[in-house]
Structure 1
Amino acid sequence: MALKNNSGAKLWQQAKEIIPGGNQLLSKRAEMFLPEQWPAYYKKSKGCEVWDLDDNHYYDFSIMGIGTSSLGYANDEVNEAVISAIQNGSMSSLNCYEEVELAQQLIAIHPWSDAVRFTRTGGESCALAIRIARAFSKKEIVAFCGYHGWHDWYLATNLSDSENLDEQLLPGLKPAGVPKQLHNTAIPFKEGDIDGFKQIVEKYGDRLGVVMMEVFRHSLPDVAFLKEVKAIAKANDIVVIFDEISSGFRLNAGASHLLIEVEPDICVLGKALGNGHPIGAIIGRKEVMDAAQQSFISSSYWTERVGFVAALKTLEIFQRDNVPSRLNIIGKQLKEQIKAVASSTGFDLKIIGIDSVPIFIFPTDQALALKTLFTQEMLKRGFLASNVIYLSIAHTPELCDKYISALSDVFKLLQEALNANKKIAMLIDGPVCHSGFQRLN
């Protein structure tokens, strides 16, 4: 596939001149994939197929809408429910009844919970959860583990150390614009580091009121770690929040903590909940969630109908078709195929992540350049590809076979370049991709 006269790449350059940062999400920046070549924009998406501005067709074996579309893009059943909701009015002076129905269903799935608040995005969901937890605990300091969005409470940790967030997910996140008064209100600890968490509890004592953590990101949950954090938190009157925006609906229809019998006080859900339509849910124990009534938390578009309707239909499909099991079967088979290709070509690729979200670790000190070249060569073969694959039920065995065939050619190319001691960056038709946050222009 020719990459010349790429209308999307040209539009991206224009966008960067009038939209600071180019777009609204770091993970969709062209620079995160293939600077100056990535098609950047789409006309149509369906299943795991995407058509760009020049009507080029791709199979999406990359971020799949950042993990939002486990049922595939534009799922027919979800579409039908959403279209019906729009035709009947997506907004009104009255509330949509689907809001109550979704709350009831989420409480039924999570029997430890009694109450739900809704938002539209992940970052604001985490910020809302923190507000409620602080209101309940009447303490301002938050200990956290993992990635939890862009809001002031989270970025405040980099006021005390500019590298505090580097190992949580993204390096280089600057707290510009975050009030300096928030210094030392958000304290990081690492996954599995129970001693680090104990030190935070000991240091901040009765000023520490909240702990927020991802249940897992790149590997299965560390059950012993989660249980010990919960026990320490309970003993010290600390509210426990599980951020399952990414991990929810990957191992089961709900949230992964249900599989390990560790109950939080609040759990945050999003991403796959609406299969591409904006919806976020904050579920929790009634006594904790009622603290929301002590603080002003309100937004017009949190009452809009589409997100609730999409979530209800998505939940129905997940439960009816056992979607998480299907995702992990697809992923396990694909992982085995990828490992076989890497072995046959001699390419020293490491794969981490749960089965439904394989993550590539490219070898050598040229890893970032290898990732970029991989993306470039897969794009030429009709695939949107990166170092992570968020699998959907639209990734059929036939499409996975096509991906593996292209992958075999590209891995062979990469290994031949390494064997010849070539500088990988010289094989890329543009700059090497970014690995974290940085200014674009």
Structure 2
Amino acid sequence: MITGLIPNGVPKGLANTAFPFQYNRIDELKKIIEKHGKDLAAIVMEPVRSEQPVPGFLEEIRSLADKMGAVLIIDEVSAAFRTNVGGAHLDYNLVPDMAVFSKAIGNGYPIAAIIGKEDVMQSAQNTFISSTMWTERVGPVASLATIKKYKDLDAHKHLIAIGNAVQKGWKNQAQKNNIDLSVATGMAPLCHFSFNYPDMLDIKSYFIQLMVDRGFLASNLFYAMYAHKMEHVEKYLHAVGESFSIISKDIDSGKFKKNMRGRPSGAGFKRLS
């Protein structure tokens, strides 16, 4: 069970058909393999998200999949096209058996793509797959145009620069205002931070409120886009600094809950990566 993910509506027959393990915790995966190895069909995971892979982690994932004959499926739905023109797994010389793409590949248009090794992909010939949308062309055309634009603009380099600037700004403003903050070390264009306090969800909600008051619909997440310019980042970080200053003072005085409008946000589900 993944924390915060309620399985309402999931048939009981699907219980124990998926076994989660934390990113960078190869020991957790090995325990799963020891118990269920002969029955495991695939390892499904993101190549990177909140933290960088520790040395040898991805290599061992690949090795374990090969040893037990499981298909290694890399989820590139969020990670792809943010650090290169393609999947993030390319940055780590990881060769998956299958990779799944969506979101950025179409720049907002509905499109998804599954790519993989021939022997794995040919397995589809042994089953029946049908779709009402076989002849839909808008998504594929949008995807091809988007990928060409990525290449022409070197868009990923801009996303990395923007993400790095935001992460650096978060750290600077937290230090300046005496805020205990953790900034994710995974992908710069896909970054987030956490308040290190017992009332972290309440404080996050208060931060959202303060940022809205300053003209920014912003949470503790930041997804860099090509449209973002450094001047936008500067204005955003100025608002972050003002918000952090108020939060710091209100935490010390115990007033931040009294100053909140509305209910605090819920925890949501906790990602494995």
TM bin, normalised by shorter chain, reads: over 0.9
- Structure 1 Cα separation of the partners of residues 12 and 181 of structure 2: 43
Unaligned runs of 5+ in 1: 1-163
The alpha-carbon deviation at position 183 of structure 1 amounts to 2.1
Equivalenced residues, count? 268
- Structure 1 Cα separation of the partners of residues 12 and 254 of structure 2: 48
- Structure 1 Cα separation of the partners of residues 156 and 260 of structure 2: 37
Cα distance 1:176–1:322, how it changes in 2: closer, same or farther (>3 A)?
same
- Structure 1 Cα separation of the partners of residues 135 and 257 of structure 2: 49
Letter in 2 for 1:431: R
The alpha-carbon deviation at position 380 of structure 1 amounts to 1.4
In structure 1, the residue matched to 2:249 is 416
Cα distance 1:432–1:329, how it changes in 2: closer, same or farther (>3 A)?
same
Cα distance 1:205–1:346, how it changes in 2: closer, same or farther (>3 A)?
closer
Letter in 2 for 1:361: S
The match for 1:230 among 46, 55, 62 is: 62
In structure 2, the residue matched to 1:396 is 229
1:195 aligns with 2:27: yes
List structure 1 segments (4+ residues) > 3 angstroms apart after TM superposition: none
- Structure 2 Cα separation of the partners of residues 245 and 235 of structure 1: 27
Letter in 2 for 1:368: L
- Structure 2 Cα separation of the partners of residues 345 and 200 of structure 1: 44
**Contact 1:216/1:222 (CA < 8 Å) preserved in 2?**
no
The alpha-carbon deviation at position 253 of structure 1 amounts to 0.9
In structure 2, the residue matched to 1:295 is 127
1:336 aligns with 2:173: no
The alpha-carbon deviation at position 302 of structure 1 amounts to 4.9
Letter in 2 for 1:244: E
Letter in 1 for 2:2: L
Cα distance 1:191–1:302, how it changes in 2: closer, same or farther (>3 A)?
farther
The match for 1:262 among 66, 88, 94 is: 94
Instruction: Tell me the alpha carbon deviations over residues 255-280 of structure 1, each in whole angstroms, 9 at most, x when there is no partner.
Output: 11112212111011111111111111
Cα distance 1:333–1:229, how it changes in 2: closer, same or farther (>3 A)?
same
The match for 1:372 among 205, 217, 227 is: 205
Cα distance 1:189–1:339, how it changes in 2: closer, same or farther (>3 A)?
closer
**Contact 1:327/1:393 (CA < 8 Å) preserved in 2?**
yes
- Structure 2 Cα separation of the partners of residues 298 and 383 of structure 1: 44
In structure 1, the residue matched to 2:195 is 362
In structure 2, the residue matched to 1:381 is 214
Q: Whose relative contact order is higher, 1 or 2, with alpha carbons under 8 Å and at least 6 apart?
A: 1
Letter in 1 for 2:104: A
Instruction: Tell me the alpha carbon deviations over residues 404-426 of structure 1, each in whole angstroms, 9 at most, x when there is no partner.
Output: 2212211111111012122x322
In structure 2, the residue matched to 1:165 is 2
- Structure 2 Cα separation of the partners of residues 218 and 250 of structure 1: 14
Letter in 1 for 2:15: H
Instruction: Tell me the alpha carbon deviations over residues 27-58 of structure 1, each in whole angstroms, 9 at most, x when there is no partner.
Output: xxxxxxxxxxxxxxxxxxxxxxxxxxxxxxxx
- Structure 2 Cα separation of the partners of residues 342 and 187 of structure 1: 37
Give the TM-score of the pair, scaled to structure 2: 0.93
Unaligned runs of 5+ in 2: none
Residue pairs, 1:277-356, within 5 angstroms: 277-352=109-184, 353-356=186-189
Cα distance 1:383–1:233, how it changes in 2: closer, same or farther (>3 A)?
same
Residue pairs, 1:63-102, within 5 angstroms: none
Give the TM-score of the pair, scaled to structure 1: 0.58
**Contact 2:155/2:226 (CA < 8 Å) preserved in 1?**
yes
- Structure 2 Cα separation of the partners of residues 333 and 303 of structure 1: 43
- Structure 2 Cα separation of the partners of residues 222 and 255 of structure 1: 19
The alpha-carbon deviation at position 180 of structure 1 amounts to 1.6
1:185 aligns with 2:51: no
- Structure 2 Cα separation of the partners of residues 383 and 298 of structure 1: 44
- Structure 2 Cα separation of the partners of residues 386 and 288 of structure 1: 40
